[in-house]
């Protein structure tokens, strides 16, 4: 059994890690750190955790084998400065601090998209867990980028309210968001750089990504559609995708239409491709808190620790 600590355990991604790790057969939760809520049992904040995790949030840090950072963006660096760690602690950061700049202190953060860097992860001690939209869009486009087939991409994506976090905001007020759709950060989402960094590595020419994110009226899930000019036959494209993901247990390439809810509450990504004349559309769907955050973090931990990739991630879908 490896010991685990979670920094920022009372947020959505932190508590989702608790939900996953409480049933993970190879790890033991050692401490749940929260500055703002220390002294409170996590099951008082999230009553679904009653009798599943009755740990009390703490502001004391203990030695552990594995540490997950679930802090607001750009707070992980400060946290690591203020709380020096032994070098053999596996750190998995769910923020965006180390996605673009991978070197910090003596650590070299591997970008935690296992479909791309599974081998690099095996000897890693530091993982920068990808963003939720970044995961959904990269998985949709990577096989084309590897094939040097991308130039200009037009992507629309829709995300659930949990993507905006736990804090109360006008755009997460139920009365406003229910039955509503709206656009935000048009052509300007913070994940675009992260997406392009990975895609451009393999593509021949510089890729242009025009990304329009929408807020959806559901709590969990991301659905994206990317429109791309491409001359290849659809069967050849499907073959490229199947080949690219042949060792990826959580990616489903589906020749039948997909819907977002088929992956909600699971760690899976579903991908479906359609073509008309010289235009293809790649659809992808994930659960933003699982494959888009905490589930992928557990998947990454499993890979680094050399456990079965799906350990603790055989999750029943909500389905309906």
Residue 283 makes contact with a copy of itself by CB under 8 A: yes
| Shortest distance (Å) from residue 301 CB to a copy of itself | 16
Buried b (16+ CB within 10 A) or exposed e, 128-151: bbbbbbbbbbbbbbbbbbbbebbe
**CA-wise closest residue to 161 among 171, 151, 153, 152:** 171
Residue 186 makes contact with a copy of itself by CB under 8 A: yes
Among 56, 75, 154, 311, binds a copy of itself (CB under 8 A): 154
d(CA 211, CA 185) in angstroms, rounded, equals: 9
Range 197-256, binding a copy of itself (CB under 8 A) = 210, 212, 214, 216-221, 223, 225, 227, 249, 252, 254, 256
Among 38, 56, 151, 156, binds a copy of itself (CB under 8 A): 156
Binding range to a copy of itself, per CB under 8 A, among 103-111, 131-139, 197-205, 271-279: 271-279
Selecting among 53, 132, 230, 269, the annotated active-site residue is: 132
Range 82-141, binding a copy of itself (CB under 8 A) = none
Q: Has 230 been annotated as catalytic?
A: no
| Shortest distance (Å) from residue 207 CB to a copy of itself | 14
Measured from the Cβ of residue 310, the count of other Cβ atoms closer than 10 Å reads 14
Whether the CB-CB separation of 114 and 303 falls below 8 Å is answered with: yes
- Residue 67 backbone phi and psi in degrees, to 5: -130, 125
Range 35-74, binding a copy of itself (CB under 8 A) = 44, 46-48, 50-51
d(CA 99, CA 88) in angstroms, rounded, equals: 20
Which residues are known catalytic residues?
132
């Amino acid at each position: 059994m490896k010991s685990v600590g979670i920094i920022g355990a009372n947020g959505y991604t932190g508590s989702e890690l608790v939900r996953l790790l409480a049933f993970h057969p190879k790890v033991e939760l050692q401490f749940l750190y929260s500055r703002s809520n220390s002294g409170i049992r996590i099951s008082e904040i999230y009553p679904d955790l009653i009798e599943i995790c009755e740990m009390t949030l703490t502001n004391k840090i203990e030695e552990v084998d594995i540490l997950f950072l679930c802090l607001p963006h750009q707070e992980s660096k400060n946290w690591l400065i203020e709380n020096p760690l032994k070098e053999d602690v596996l750190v998995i950061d769910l923020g965006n601090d180390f996605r673009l700049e991978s070197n910090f202190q003596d650590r070299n953060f591997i970008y935690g998209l296992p479909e791309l860097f599974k081998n690099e992860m095996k000897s890693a001690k530091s993982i920068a867990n990808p963003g939720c939209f970044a995961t959904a869009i990269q998985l949709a486009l990577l096989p084309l980028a590897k094939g040097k087939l991308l130039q200009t991409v037009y992507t629309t994506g829709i995300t659930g309210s949990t993507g905006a976090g736990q804090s109360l905001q006008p755009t997460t007020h139920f009365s406003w968001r229910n039955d509503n759709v709206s656009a935000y950060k048009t052509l300007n989402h913070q994940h675009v750089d992260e997406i392009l960094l990975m895609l451009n590595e393999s593509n021949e020419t510089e890729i242009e990504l025009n990304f329009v994110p929408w807020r959806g009226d559901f709590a969990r899930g991301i659905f994206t559609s990317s429109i791309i000019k491409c001359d290849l036959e659809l069967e050849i494209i499907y073959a490229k995708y199947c080949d690219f993901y042949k060792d990826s247990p959580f990616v489903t390439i589906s020749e039948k239409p997909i819907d977002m809810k088929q992956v909600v509450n699971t760690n899976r990504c579903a991908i479906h491709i359609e073509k008309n004349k010289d235009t293809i559309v790649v659809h992808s769907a994930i659960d933003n808190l699982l494959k888009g955050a905490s589930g992928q973090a557990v998947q990454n931990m499993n890979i680094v620790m050399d456990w079965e990739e799906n350990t603790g991630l055989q999750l029943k879908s909500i389905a309906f």
